[in-house]
Amino acid sequence: ALALAAEAEAQALANAGAHEAQLHRLQTDLQLREQQLIDHQHTTEEQDEQTMPPSMPKQQQDWATA
């Protein structure tokens, strides 16, 4: 009976270890995705600045209010 209990405990520990490894993999995956999203946001912001100079919209607003 003791041997069975020890074996069951070892199996439970192995399962927990595998589960923890899977969780860690998921967390790492999430962090990578978040980083990719952040990088993507930065690049699109930079592209917006390149395509539209900051002075343009203000001039258009001035014309609209005048």
What tens digit of pLDDT does each residue of 6-60 get? 999 999 999 999 999 999 999 999 999 999 998 888 887 777 766 665 565 555 5
Q: What is the pLDDT of residue 41?
A: 83
**Phi and psi torsions of 51, nearest 5°:** -75, -30
pTM for this entry: 0.46
d(CA 26, CA 55): 44
Domain layout of the chain by residue ranges: 2-65
Q: What is the pLDDT of residue 47?
A: 72
Q: What is the pLDDT of residue 28?
A: 96
The yes-or-no verdict on residue 64 having pLDDT over 80 is: no
